[in-house]
Structure 1
Amino acid sequence: MEPVTIRTLQSTDAEALLTFEVDNREWFERHIDARGADFYSAQGVTEHIAAYLADHAAGIWHPFVIEDADGQIVGRANLKDIDTSARSAEVGYRIAQSAGGQGLATLAVKHLIQQAQLRWNLKQLVANVYAENIASAKVLKRCGFLIEQVSRQAGTDQEYRFGLSI
């Protein structure tokens, strides 16, 4: 694996993040819920970043980007819905199609686990994955997550909920 950097999202990431999201839009939409069309613009991404950074300042979200050796964004990872009283959060991540199969998702999840422990003092993480997203399920299992439940609502895809006690 080439060297990468995982760091907190910054307001100056708008252009690079828009490029990452546009370049991988079709790929992501095969595996996770689609974003609204208004997201895919300079204003949409700038507003998205501002909201995430406001939630980070409020202590309920921790957004990260993953950069390759050239400084290009090749992934994202988030601790979301951080609940410091319950000491829990949800993890989410997305890796560029061109960077798949290189261990970046596993690295990202391990980073989230580490940050959950060290930065946020959390004890429980959860992740939701569509049944068709076998690669993400494998990453979560590799990182110690266990399937907690399987759900399916009328008209939706089957989804697995994974949990990890840390």
Structure 2
Amino acid sequence: MKTITIRLLTLADCPALLDFETRNRGWFEQHVAPRGEAFYSQAGVLQHIAELLAAHAQGRGFPGLLLDETGLIIGRINLKDMDLQTGVAELGYRLDQDRVGAGLATAAVRQMKALAQRQLGLQRLDAVVSPANPASARVLQKCGFERLDPAASAALQRGDSPLIAYRCRLDRPAD
């Protein structure tokens, strides 16, 4: 398997991120709620990055890029709703359609778990997955996430789409 690196998103990443998001738009919209049309522009992506970096500066998130060995953006991995007091954050990720099935998502989630625990001091990560995306559920399970009961999943649901909730304690080793 080729190596991947997680790096903090910057404003300078705007052109490459816009390209990545535009190329994969149809693929992503099969698995997550679509972004508004305004997102798919230089100004839209710049605003998105600025909001993520503001949350990061306040200790409420970590917007990461997944880069291949050449420095090309092949995915994103983020921590959001981060609470350093309780040690909890929500994990989300997306991978270039052409890169799925090669173990890269699993490697990225494992790397982010280590970063979350060692560098950010987090104790727990939560994640949600659409029932229509069993591959993401398998990635989370391989990385030590446990599926929550339906009531807990309903509590984490956004909008009308049903989601399945997962949780991982970072003080316990995964497989």
Percentage identity across aligned positions? 45
User: How far apart are 1:69 and its partner, in Å?
Assistant: 2.3
- For 1:122, the equivalent position in structure 2 comes to 122
Matched position secondary structure for 2:127: strand
Q: Which residue of 2 aligns with 1:161?
A: 165
1:149 aligns with 2:168: no
| 1:102 Cα deviation after fit | 1.2
Checking the alignment, whether the CA contact within 8 Å between 2:4 and 2:108 is kept in structure 1 is: no
Deviations 1:103-162 (A, max 9, x none): 111111112211110111111110010111100000000000001133467x83331100
Structure 2: runs of 5+ lacking an equivalent: 171-175
User: In the alignment, which residue of structure 1 is the partner of 2:17?
Assistant: 17
- Give the counterpart letter for 1:98 in structure 2: D
Matched to 1:159, the amino acid is: L
Counterparts of 2:64 and 2:139, CA distance in 1: 18
Instruction: Tell me the TM-score normalised to structure 1 length.
Output: 0.94
Which letter does structure 1 place at the counterpart of 2:120?
A: W
Partners of 1:121 and 1:60 in 2: CA distance:
13
* Cα displacement (A) at 1:85: 1.2
Structure 2 length normalisation: TM-score? 0.90
Structure with higher strand content:
1
1: CA distance, partners of 2:118 / 2:7 = 15
1:92 alignment counterpart: 92
**Partners of 1:60 and 1:82 within 8 A in 2:** yes
The unaligned stretches of length 5 or more in structure 1 are none
Q: Given residue 113 of structure 1, which amino acid in structure 2 is its aligned partner?
A: K
Corresponding position of 1:112: 112
Per-residue CA shift, 1:36-59, capped at 9, x if unaligned? 110000010011111111111110
Residue 147 of structure 1 aligns with an amino acid whose one-letter code is R
Please give the secondary structure, in 1, of the residue aligned with 2:53: helix
Taking the aligned partners of 1:159 and 1:101, their CA distance within structure 2 comes to 22
Runs of 4+, deviation exceeding 6 Å: none
In the alignment, the residues of structure 2 paired with residue 41 and residue 149 of structure 1 have an alpha-carbon distance, to the nearest angstrom, of 39
State the shift of 1:74 in Å: 0.5
Give the structure 2 partner of residue 41 of structure 1.
41
Letter in 1 for 2:160: T
CA RMSD of aligned residues (A): 1.4
Q: 2:132 aligns to what? A: 132
Amino acid at match of 1:162: Y
